[in-house]
Amino acid sequence: MQNQANKLKDIVKNDITKPSHTKFVAITSGKGGVGKSTVSANMANILAKNGYKVALFDADIGLANLDVILNVRINKNILHVLKGECPLSEIIVPVSKNLILIPGESGDEILKYSDQFIFERFFDETAMLDDLDFVIVDTGAGIGGHIQLFLEAADEVIVVTVPDPAAITDAYATIKVTSKIKNNLHLILNMVRNEKEAKLIFEKIQKVAMSNIGDDLELNLIGKLPEDKLIAKSIKQRTLFTNDSPNSLASMDMKRIVNNLVYKLERKVLKDGVSRSFGSFFKRLIEQF
């Protein structure tokens, strides 16, 4: 008993002296191939270059490919940690200064491993990630159950779409389903010609959302990205366009998106001051299951 009480005191003390402030930003889409991973990787890169400590969490079930995009080698993923086969430190891949990759084979299988003992150990280990400022979660496309769990556990959800009608329809489906668990969603319009096109498409989506979902849902156009050969070229050569051409229009747009996100989150922190950590993110995931 005494031991447990001391442990609890330690936890409380740690919480006070070292508050965990990690923000979880989920990047999702209705249709596949609209630029989620490109956005996730470059968003994480810009945050890291600005001095934030960032992890990219590849939660795209079955199609995880951030290791390819970032040109790093991975062996094991978070499932191995949850199965108790290796420590968390063994799967984390350093990418660049302030940026790490957490390879994830996420979704249903992860949630099967709800063995109390393994989870307690896992949560203890996640303390090593407590100094992260941001975890960018690349969720994969669609409205599958496990994706919704990640969106629910995240602080901010960004839906990526491109201008083609099928993608817009699918983005809308994602917005509709997600509006049941979040009343604030961000949109990125990728591969648009200009700001005007982005705004027009956004307004269309917003109008449909207002009349079908209601005004409880706050939709926010957090930014746009141009269709740009430089972006496609960087993906092909397994580099990041925000590194290859930091002053291009595309990089400027990406920086604007990051600024908007940081601004939004800073205002939120002042309001709710809730403490977040990688462990608590996973707890929220599991609790929903």
The helix/strand/coil state of 99 is strand
Cβ(141)–Cβ(31) under 8 Å?
A: yes
Is residue 275 within a helix (H) or strand (E), and if so which, with residue range? Answer: none
Sole binder of ligand ATP in the list 6, 12, 33, 287 (CB under 6 A): 33
Asked whether position 228 contacts ligand ATP by CB under 6 A, the answer is yes
Asked whether position 225 contacts ligand ATP by CB under 6 A, the answer is yes
> Closer CB to ligand ATP, residue 48 or residue 162?
162
Asked whether position 280 contacts ligand ATP by CB under 6 A, the answer is no
Neighbours of 31 (CB within 10 A): 19
Asked whether position 149 contacts ligand ATP by CB under 6 A, the answer is no
> Closer CB to Mg ion, residue 36 or residue 49?
36
The helix/strand/coil state of 218 is strand
**Whole-number Å distance between alpha carbons of 197 and 253:** 14
Of 28-36, 90-98, 129-137, 266-274, the segment contacting ligand ATP by CB under 6 A is 28-36
**Whole-number Å distance between alpha carbons of 2 and 152:** 37
Neighbours of 189 (CB within 10 A): 27
Query: Between β-strands 134-141 and 23-29, what pairing exists: parallel, antiparallel or unpaired?
Result: parallel
Sole binder of ligand ATP in the list 20, 38, 126, 179 (CB under 6 A): 38
Cβ(135)–Cβ(25) under 8 Å?
A: yes
Asked whether position 231 contacts ligand ATP by CB under 6 A, the answer is yes
* Sheet of strand 54-58, all strands in order from the earlier edge strand to the far edge: 93-96, 99-103, 54-58, 134-141, 23-29, 156-161, 184-192, 218-226
> Closer CB to Mg ion, residue 54 or residue 59?
59
**Whole-number Å distance between alpha carbons of 109 and 136:** 21
**Number of residues counted as binding ligand ATP (CB under 6 A):** 20
Asked whether position 164 contacts ligand ATP by CB under 6 A, the answer is no
Is residue 289 within a helix (H) or strand (E), and if so which, with residue range? Answer: none
The binder of 141, among Mg ion, ligand ATP, none, by C-beta within 5 to 8 A per type, is ligand ATP
Asked whether position 37 contacts Mg ion by CB under 5 A, the answer is yes
> Closer CB to ligand ATP, residue 151 or residue 286?
151
Of 85-93, 117-125, 199-207, 231-239, the segment contacting ligand ATP by CB under 6 A is 231-239
Cβ(244)–Cβ(209) under 8 Å?
A: no
Asked whether position 190 contacts ligand ATP by CB under 6 A, the answer is yes
Asked whether position 143 contacts ligand ATP by CB under 6 A, the answer is no
The contact set with ligand ATP (CB under 6 A) reads: 29, 32-38, 60, 63, 140-141, 190-191, 225, 227-228, 231-232, 235
The contact set with Mg ion (CB under 5 A) reads: 36-37
